[in-house]
Amino acid sequence: MSERPVIRPREKGDVPDDPLSRLRHSASHVMADAVRRLRPKAKVTIGPAIENGFYYDFDTEPFAPEDIEKIEAEMAKIVAQDLPFVRKVVSRAEALRLFADQGETFKVEIIQSIPEGDEISLYQHGDFVDLCAGPHIERTGQIKAFKVLSFAGAYWRGDERNPQLQRVYGTAFASKDDLKAHLARLEEAKRRDHRVLGKQLDLFSVDELVGPGFVLWHPKGAIVRTVLEDMIRRELVRRGYQAVFTPHVAREQLLEKSGHMAHYKENLFGGMELDGQRYLVRPMNCPFHIAIYRSQLRSHRELPIRYAELGSVYRYERSGVLHGLLRVRGFTQDDAHLFLREDQIEEELAGCVRFGLDILRLFGFADVKAFLATRPENFMGEKAAWDRAEAAIRRVLEAAGMPFEVDEGGGAFYGPKIDLKIRDAIGREWQCTTFQLDFQMPERFDLEYVAPDGSRQRPVMIHRALFGSMERFMAVLIEHFAGAFPLWLAPVQARVLTVSEKADVWGREVQARLLAADLRADADLSADKLGAKIRRAQMEKIPYMLVVGERDMAARVVSPRTRDGQQMPATPLDELAQRLAAEAVPPVLGATPAEKKPTG
C-alpha cells in the first residue's frame, strides 16, 4: 500500500474563471511584463492562477531574494498606469510570426500545440502582449493588492527531462485586507509547522548521522505515538482484526513475486547479500501478510481474514522530497490486509470506511471527503470484476452519506481505491486514510480458499491504512492542534508547580496521587518563581498546571490553571485527581462495530 502524499491545494488542468482567479491571472501578466522590463532577455512561458495566487515561469537567470522588491516595484508602476487589457484574436500564422520575431520560442511551441481550428487569442496591456486564452480583468489598475512571494525552479511543461525555468510565485487579492488576512494565514501555518513544534516540544528529531528521512521519536513524541497505537490496537480487536508481526527484511524473491522488484525498484532500500542470498528492506507489508495467509489452506468459512500490523517500511525517496514527518524514508503504517470473497467486498469496505471515519472524528476531523479512483487504462483482471467493485464502492460511500469525487481512471492497475481527505483546524486538506482493492496480489501469489462446493477460489484483498503512517498522522495532528494536544494525547497532562520550596512535600504528594490515577504528571520543584514555572509550562503546552503553595498545602487542595490561562478554584486533591483522570480517558469510538469475528 502506498503512503499517500499530502494534497497541497493546487489547480490543474482546467482554467478557473471566478473573479479572483481572473484577477490573479491578470496579475501574472503584469508580473511577466515587470520581469521583461527588468530583464529584456527573459523568455516568457506560462503563468496561470493557482489556488492561493499565481505564478509565471521564465527562461532566464535565477532570481535572487532582492528581486522580489524589484519586481513588485515594477508591477506597481504598471498597476499605477491603469492600462487596459485588450483581447485580440489572431490567425495561427500571425501568432507564430509575432512570437517568433520576439524570440519567444516557448510561446511558439505552445501555439504549435494548440489544436488546429481552436481560436488563438492575445491579451495586451501597454506594450506587453501574451498568448492567452483569457479571460482577464479590464485594467491593470484593478489589481489593488498583490505580493511577490518566492522563486523556484520548475521544469518546462512539468517534465524533468525538459529545461528548468525560473518560477516566480505571487498572490493577489481583491482588497488589501484580504491580502493581509492571507499573509496572516501563511504566518499561522508557519507557526504550526510540525518541524518547528517538534523541536520546541521535544517530540522528535532527524539526525544527519542517522540519515535523512529517518525519524527519532523522543520520549514525549513516543508517548503521543504510543497512545495512538494503543487506541488503534484496542479498536482492531473490537472490529475483528488479528494482530500479526512480520520481519522488516526479506529475500529478494518475495518482492520479485509481489512485483515490487519490477514496479518499485527505484524506491527499494538497502539490498544486501548474505550466504549467497539477496535480501532487501521491505517497502511494504502486504507480501508478508500474504505469506501468513498462504501458510495453510483457507476455507470460505474463515473469510474475511483481517491481518493488522503497525508495520515499519523503508522506501528510498529522492533527497529533495523529504519533509519533516510528512515525507520520510522510514515510517510505520497502521496497515491491514483483508482477504475476502468477492461477495464480501461491499460489507468489508463499509466497515473500513466506518472505522476510518470513527477514528478521524476522534481528533475533530469532521469534514471528510472521499475520492474514488476507478479503473485505469492498463488495468489488471476482469473488467466485470472491476465494475462490480466500483459499484460496490459507490454504494458504500452513498450509504455512508459521504460526499465523494470520482477520479476516472485514477485507480492503481491492481484495483480501485478510496482515499479520505480531512480538513484541519486552519482549513488545509490532508490525505491519510486509504482503502485499496486488490485483484492482483492474490493472483500473483496464487491465493486460494476452498468454496462450499469444494472448488478452489481466489480471494480479493483490501489494503487499508487509517492514519496512513504514524509519522504523517503525527505531523497532521501537531499542525492541527498547533502543538496543544488534547488532554488524552498530551505527553505531560498535568504539571505540579510549587510556589516555593516550602510546598515541595505537598507538591510531591500531589504528583504521586496523579500518577496513581494513571495521569502523566510531573512536578516543577525548581527554585524559580511561580511566574517562570508557569511560563515554561505554557510553552510546553501542558494542559493543566497545578499550583501548590503553603496555603494549598494547609487545606490539602491544589489551585489548577489551564493552558488557556484560566484559573480554576482551589480543589481538594482527590476530587481533582478523579476529575482529571476521567477527562483524560481516550475518547470512545462510536457505535459498536458490526463486523463479525472471524471464526477460529
Partner RNA sequence: GCCGGCCUAGCUCAGUGGUAGAGCAUCGCUUUCGUAAAGCGAGGGUCCCCGGUUCAAUCCCGGGGGCCGGCUCCA
Site for RNA in 532-591 (CB under 7 A): 532, 534-535, 538-539, 545, 547-552, 559, 561, 563, 565, 567, 570
In terms of CB distance, is 84 or 163 closer to RNA?
163
Q: Using the rule CB under 7 A, which residue among 202, 256, 528, 583 binds RNA?
A: 528
State the nearest-atom distance from the C-beta of 317 to RNA, in Å: 6
Shortest distance (Å) from residue 501 CB to RNA: 3
Q: Which 130-159 residues touch RNA, going by CB under 7 A?
A: 150-155, 158-159
Judged by beta carbon, residue 78 or residue 201, the one nearer RNA is 201
119, 127, 160, 377: residue in contact with RNA (rule CB under 7 A): 160
Q: Which is nearer to RNA, 66 or 101 (CB)?
A: 66
The residue within the footprint of RNA, chosen from 65, 115, 117, 401 (CB under 7 A), is 65
The residue length of the chain stands at 600
Answer whether 527's CB lies under 8 Å from 575's CB: no
Nearest distance from C-beta of residue 444 to RNA, angstroms: 12
Q: Quick check: 417 and 373 in contact, CB under 8 A?
A: yes
How deeply is 44 buried, as exposed, middle or buried, from its count of CB atoms within 10 A (0-12, 13-18, 19+)? buried
Using CB under 7 A, pick the residue from 54, 363, 414, 439 that binds RNA.
Answer: 414
Copy the grid coordinates of residue 369. 471527503
DSSP H helical segments within 206-326, as ranges? 219-238, 252-258, 260-263, 286-293
Which residue stretch of 1-9, 170-178, 234-242, 447-455 sits at the interface with RNA (rule: CB under 7 A)?
1-9
Q: Which amino acid is at 151?
A: F
Contacts of 297 (CB under 8 A, 6+ apart): 448, 450
**Max CA-CA distance within the chain?**
94
Q: Candidates 121, 242, 267, 571: give the one binding RNA (CB under 7 A).
A: 267
* In the complex, minimum distance from the CB of residue 142 to RNA, in angstroms, rounded to a whole number: 27
How many residues sit in the footprint of RNA (CB under 7 A)?
75
CA distance 33 to 20: 20
Using CB under 7 A, which residues numbered 314 to 343 contact RNA?
315, 317-324, 327
Give dist(CA 430, CA 445) in Å, integer. Answer: 33
Hey, what's the cell of 558? 491544589
Interface of this chain with RNA, residues 95 to 134, rule: CB under 7 A: none
Report 201-240 residues binding RNA (CB under 7 A).
Answer: 206, 208, 211-213
Give, as ranges, the residues between 347 and 406 that touch RNA (CB under 7 A).
none
Please, are residues 535 and 585 in contact by the beta-carbon 8 Å criterion?
no
Residue in 13, 18, 40, 64 binding RNA, rule: CB under 7 A: 64
**Residue range at the interface with RNA (CB under 7 A); choices 62-70, 114-122, 270-278, 347-355:** 62-70
User: Side-chain half-sphere of 214: how many Cα atoms within 13 Å?
Assistant: 9
Q: Which residues are catalytic?
A: 286, 315, 333, 335, 337, 417, 463
Candidate segments 125-133, 248-256, 259-267, 466-474, binder of RNA by CB under 7 A: 259-267
Coil, helix or strand for 41? coil
Kindly list the distances between the CA atom of residue 570 and the CA atoms of 202, 530, 546, 559, in Å, as whole numbers in the listed order.
31, 16, 9, 4
Residue tagged 504598471 (cell numbers) = 78
Q: Is 485 buried (19+), middle (13-18) or exposed (0-12) by CB count in 10 A? A: buried
Which residue in the set 25, 36, 147, 167 belongs to the binding site for RNA (CB under 7 A)?
A: 167
Q: For residue 132, give the nearest of 52, 51, 44 by alpha carbon.
A: 44
Among 10, 13, 401, 582, binds RNA (CB under 7 A): 10
CB of 167 to RNA, least distance (A): 5
Tabulate helix, strand, coil % of the chain (nearest 5): 40, 25, 35
Residue 328: CB minimum distance to RNA, A: 9
Let me know: does 293 contact 339? Beta carbons within 8 Å: yes
Amino acid at position 243, single letter: A
Q: Which is nearer to RNA, 374 or 559 (CB)?
A: 559
How many CA atoms lie less than 13 Å away from 290 in the CB half-sphere? 25
Residue 509 binds RNA, judged by CB under 7 A = no
For residue 370 the three cell numbers come to 472521499
The smaller minimum CB distance to RNA, of residues 296 and 566, is found at 566
Interface residues for RNA in 475-504 (CB under 7 A)? 499-503
Cβ 496 to RNA shortest distance, Å = 11
Binding region for RNA (CB under 7 A) out of 22-30, 75-83, 94-102, 163-171:
163-171
Does the protein bind RNA through residue 287 (CB under 7 A)?
A: no
**Residue 199 Cβ vs RNA, minimum distance, rounded to whole Å:** 6
Which residues contact residue 74 at a Cβ distance below 8 angstroms, ignoring those fewer than 6 apart?
33, 34, 35, 37, 38
Residue in the block written with cell 470520482 = 406
Q: Which stretch binds RNA (CB under 7 A): 228-236, 241-249, 263-271, 386-394?
A: 263-271
